[in-house]
Amino acid sequence: MQFKEELINVIINLIEELFECKLNSIMQDVNDKLARMHQDIENMQDVLVKHFSHQVAHSRAESLSETVDTAEEDQFKKSINAELDSLGLRVQQLEYMNHIILDTQSANKATFKELERKIQPMQEQINKSIEEMKKDLKDKQTFQWTVLNDQIERVEKYVQKLKQADLFFQQKQQLQTQTNKKSK
């Protein structure tokens, strides 16, 4: 019965460790994706700053020559807007994934609590059974000792009677030997 109790404790510990590992893995994935997103944003900022600086320099050069090419400005605005839209979509995707992860964590916690709630009565029943078996074993041992003590008492009485019979037999032989000597 102790083995069953230890087995249940090992299973509970394994479930807890599995839950923690899964949770840590999910959180690591989220952190990795957020780090990549931040790196992408920083890279995009660098690209935009360089591009914008280049465009400003180009624009100033065109201003000086008084030729402004609005098509390039529109193209620049469109490319910046496209990059911002792309980054916005990535942020939305990561936020959505984060919500899914949080929902999964919540569901896992609920499942774990439900499992723990189901295991608790089983564990109590096993503990009760163990206690009953210990009591039963103790009762059986007490009964066996009582029977053994009774048998020991009987054997001791029997040995005592045998000793008395032996003593009586020896006395009878001595008496007969003395009687035989007197008769001769």
The single-letter code of the amino acid at 125 is Q
Residue 159 in any domain: the answer is: no
User: For residue range 144-184, what is the model confidence (pLDDT) as tens digits?
Assistant: 888 888 888 999 999 999 999 889 999 988 888 888 877 76
Residue 181 in any domain: the answer is: no
Residue 53 in any domain: the answer is: yes
Q: Provide the domain limits for residue 117.
A: 2-138
**For helices 2-64 and 70-183, angle between their N-to-C axes, nearest 10 degrees:** 170
Is residue 90 within 8 A of residue 39, CB to CB? The reply is no
Residue 179 in any domain: the answer is: no
Is residue 62 within 8 A of residue 69, CB to CB? The reply is yes
Residue 170 in any domain: the answer is: no
Q: Span 58-71, mean pLDDT?
A: 60
Residue 162 in any domain: the answer is: no
Is residue 25 within 8 A of residue 153, CB to CB? The reply is no
Cβ-count burial of 179 within 10 angstroms (0-12 exposed, 13-18 middle, 19+ buried)?
Answer: exposed
User: For residue range 4-58, what is the model confidence (pLDDT) as tens digits?
Assistant: 777 777 777 777 777 777 777 878 888 888 888 888 878 887 787 787 777 766 6
- The token duo for 106 is 């919540």
C-alpha span between 131 and 139 (Å, rounded)? 12
User: For residue range 81-117, what is the model confidence (pLDDT) as tens digits?
Assistant: 888 888 888 888 888 888 888 888 888 788 878 878 8
Q: How many domains does the chain have?
A: 1
Residue 26 in any domain: the answer is: yes
Residue 112 in any domain: the answer is: yes
User: What is the reported pTM?
Assistant: 0.36
